[in-house]
């Protein structure tokens, strides 16, 4: 066997070289070529045999799952090498726990000698090994420091609104003049637009996916591969048709991403620390978002509406085929649960909306121990909402005086409150400026020895406490004022929006989702005059709740059109779709049918009695004949 005997030991050397991006590309002293040169010279001078060279170029020292390093471990386990050398200890790795495991456990167990040439580390030199753990800790501290610096640089660029991804998201391309800026990709932007339009129309993710798949459109991964991105072809190797099969996750990812509203989203998955490779996903509301970094494919209002629809777990159509345009919007006023659309199969109506009523889902699940039904006819809800929308639309277009009255009513309280808050804000800012001057004066008195150290600490502590309290209150006041200003602007935005819906005759999910945040339905209440009334609260976009609607619930049978009685010809409103008679004739016919039924019943009973009597007579005759025959036998 080739090799030089040293201390009665023959060494087959494995030479290991590593370079990561963190080490820099301009550092010649750490380059792979430099490491090979140093280690080769060292092996030659020792007269040892170089069994194999292992190189990991572009791999971090904090991770030991490197291809060549793992190959070296396998060769050690198979006995091919019994000595490992590196340029320095950091080339082996920068995780002090794993480095210590290899140096103090794995290498000794496999009779492998380890040498770090520049650091003077040699596992045969016990005194040099005493300081080795501290070297490993310093190497890991270096990695941790580099990691913090890189993360800080990335975060700074992210907060500047720079896109840091390798490839642009579906629907966008990188700006040729600035790769950290996104431009709309006109080739597929219409697909993204269509997905959002379908969602705004009340369609669920599964339904949108089926619609897109029918159009035979390249899925995002396939489109990225077509544009030259690498790493996607493995999804289509077995079945080429997979290029056109969208998944629900692809649709959901587009609908959830703030990118399409013109905002940069990041830090969706963050590792706990440098050593952990697990990156748990965060909820969309926990993502960090930088607004207005590029042109959006959809508006912010459309994006926000879609998020609301997704989180409300909508059911846009029930089993009876009724299109539930209020899904995700209508709620129980008492328990807050969603209200379900229920088909009443016993009703026979020409329009399906007249066969449906809404009822509290909480009541439907658990009964009256949790809530009450809060039932409302779908037709009543539809008519009430349509009328209210038209009322506001007409007002916004034709009645400027009423518009100003509503604006004043909605913002009057906020404006008076805002004035008081603005006054308090000025007062707080003035006091903060005074405290700054007091601190400056107090420090000057301390330097000039006009006051003692003890008095300085006491006074500065008092001022600092007051300063913190003022800053906290000032932040609260500022946020409240901001909300007040937004509400004032919201009234104008709402009136500008609702003008577009003047004179509408029908409602659909798109209109409902564009104008309304939620609808609260109260339980029916019976008034002293015997009438039944039901309250509805509509919370509009931008302005919230304006005023209650009071409706008289429709009796279920009044939804049908009048018809003529087939007996007397009088016009009446039927209670069911199969009704043929007016109430008066119906009672008369019912009475006649009842009398006829009773007559038939009596006739059936009389006939049964006759048949029973005849049967008894036959039985008696049969019995007499048998007795008579017995008497004849006795006489013989």
What are the residue ranges of helices labelled H in 79-131? 89-92, 96-101, 107-109, 126-129
Phi first, then psi: give them for residue 330, nearest 5 degrees: -85, 130
- If one counts every other C-beta atom within 10 angstroms of the C-beta of residue 315, the result is 15
Active-site hit among 20, 60, 68, 484: 20
Would you call 20 a catalytic residue per the annotation?
yes
Q: Residues 465, 388: contact at Cβ < 8 Å?
A: no
Phi first, then psi: give them for residue 314, nearest 5 degrees: -80, 150
Q: What is the 3-state secondary structure (H, E, C) of 441-484?
A: HHHHHHHCCCCCHHHHHHHHHHHHHHHHHHHHHHHHHHHHHHHH
CA neighbours within 13 Å on the CB side: how many for 521? 30
- If one counts every other C-beta atom within 10 angstroms of the C-beta of residue 374, the result is 25
How, if at all, do strands 525-526 and 9-10 pair? Answer: unpaired
Beta strands in 185-287 (DSSP E): 264-266
**Cα distance between residue 203 and residue 192, in whole Å:** 14
Looking at residue 119, the DSSP 8-state letter turns out to be: T
| DSSP assignment of 547-590 | EEEEE-PPPGGGGSPPEE-TTT--EE--SSTT--S-HHHHHHHH
Counting beta carbons within 10 angstroms of the beta carbon of residue 105, is it exposed (0 to 12), middle (13 to 18) or buried (19 or more)? exposed
b (16+ CB within 10 A) / e for 510-532:
ebbbbbbbbbbbbbbeeeeeeee
The 3-state DSSP composition of the chain as helix, strand, coil percent (nearest 5) reads 55, 15, 30
**Cα distance between residue 15 and residue 114, in whole Å:** 10
Q: What is each CA distance from 181 to 162, 171, 259, 303, 544, in whole angstroms?
A: 6, 13, 12, 21, 37
User: Which of these, 419, 386, 422, 411, lies nearest to 490 by C-alpha position?
Assistant: 411
**Cα distance between residue 102 and residue 84, in whole Å:** 11
Dihedral of CA 69/71/76/77: which sign? positive
Q: What is each CA distance from 575 to 30, 238, 271, 347, 561, in whole angstroms?
A: 91, 62, 66, 9, 10
How, if at all, do strands 563-564 and 532-540 pair? Answer: unpaired
**Cα distance between residue 330 and residue 386, in whole Å:** 14
- If one counts every other C-beta atom within 10 angstroms of the C-beta of residue 319, the result is 8
Q: Residues 360, 372: contact at Cβ < 8 Å?
A: yes
Q: Is 438 helix (H, G, I), strand (E, B) or coil?
A: helix
How, if at all, do strands 49-57 and 12-19 pair? Answer: parallel
DSSP H or E run through 344: none
Give me the active site residues, please: 20
């Amino acid at each position: 066997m080739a090799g030089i005997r040293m201390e009665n030991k023959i060494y087959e050397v494995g030479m290991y070289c590593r370079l990561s991006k963190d080490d820099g590309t301009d550092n010649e002293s750490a380059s792979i070529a430099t490491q090979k040169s140093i280690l080769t010279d060292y092996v030659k001078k020792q007269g040892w045999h170089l069994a194999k060279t292992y190189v990991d170029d572009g791999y971090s020292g904090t991770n030991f799952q490197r291809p060549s390093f793992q190959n070296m471990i396998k060769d050690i386990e198979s006995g091919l090498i019994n000595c490992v050398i590196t340029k320095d200890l950091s080339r082996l790795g920068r995780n002090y726990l794993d480095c210590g495991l290899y140096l103090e456990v794995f290498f000794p167990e496999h009779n492998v000698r380890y040498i770090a040439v520049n650091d003077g580390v040699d596992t045969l030199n016990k005194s040099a090994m005493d300081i080795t753990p501290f070297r490993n800790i310093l190497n890991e501290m270096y990695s941790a420091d580099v990691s913090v610096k890189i993360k800080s640089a990335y975060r700074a660029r992210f907060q500047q609104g720079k896109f840091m991804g390798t490839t642009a998201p579906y629907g966008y391309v990188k700006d040729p003049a600035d790769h950290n800026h996104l431009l709309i990709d006109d080739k597929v932007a219409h697909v993204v637009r269509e997905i959002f339009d379908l969602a705004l129309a009340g369609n669920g993710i599964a339904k949108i996916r089926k619609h897109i798949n029918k159009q035979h459109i390249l899925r995002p991964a396939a489109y990225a591969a077509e544009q030259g991105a690498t790493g996607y072809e493995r999804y289509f190797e077995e079945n080429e048709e997979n290029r056109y099969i969208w998944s629900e996750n692809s649709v959901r990812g587009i609908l959830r991403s703030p990118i399409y509203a013109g905002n940069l989203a990041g830090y969706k998955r963050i590792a706990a620390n440098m050593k952990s490779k697990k990156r748990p996903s965060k909820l969309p509301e926990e993502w960090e978002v930088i607004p207005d970094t590029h042109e959006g494919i959809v508006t912010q209002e459309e994006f926000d509406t879609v998020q609301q629809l997704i989180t409300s777990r909508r059911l846009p159509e029930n089993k009876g085929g009724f299109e539930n345009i209020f899904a995700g919007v209508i709620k129980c006023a008492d328990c807050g649960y969603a209200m379900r659309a229920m088909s009443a199969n016993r009703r026979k109506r020409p329009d399906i909306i007249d066969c449906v009523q809404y009822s509290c889902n909480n009541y439907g699940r658990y009964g009256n121990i949790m809530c009450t039904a809060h039932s409302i006819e779908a037709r009543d809800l539809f008519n009430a909402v349509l009328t209210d929308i038209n009322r506001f639309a007409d007002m916004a277009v034709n009645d400027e005086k009423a518009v100003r009255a509503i604006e004043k009513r909605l913002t009057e309280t906020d404006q008076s409150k805002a004035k008081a808050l603005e006054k308090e804000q000025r007062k707080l800012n003035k006091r903060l400026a005074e405290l700054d001057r007091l601190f400056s004066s107090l420090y000057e008195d301390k330097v000039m020895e006009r006051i003692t150290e003890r008095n300085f600490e006491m006074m500065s502590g008092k001022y600092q406490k007051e300063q913190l309290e003022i800053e906290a209150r000032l932040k609260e006041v500022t946020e409240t004022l901001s909300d007040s200003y937004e509400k004032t602007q919201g009234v104008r935005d709402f009136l500008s929006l609702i003008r577009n819906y003047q004179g509408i005759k029908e409602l659909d999910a798109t209109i409902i989702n564009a104008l309304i945040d939620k609808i609260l339905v109260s339980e029916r209440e019976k008034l002293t005059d015997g009438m039944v009334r039901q309250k509805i609260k509509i919370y509009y976009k931008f302005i919230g709740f304006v005023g209650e609607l009071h409706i008289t619930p429709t009796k279920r049978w009044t939804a049908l059109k009048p018809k003529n009685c087939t007996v007397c010809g009088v016009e009446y409103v039927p209670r069911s779709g199969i009704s043929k008679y007016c109430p008066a004739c119906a009672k008369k016919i019912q009475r006649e049918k009842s009398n006829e039924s009773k007559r038939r019943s009596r006739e059936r009973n009389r006939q049964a009695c006759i048949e029973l009597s005849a049967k008894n007579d036959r039985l008696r005759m049969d019995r007499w004949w048998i007795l008579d025959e017995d008497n004849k036998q006795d006489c013989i």
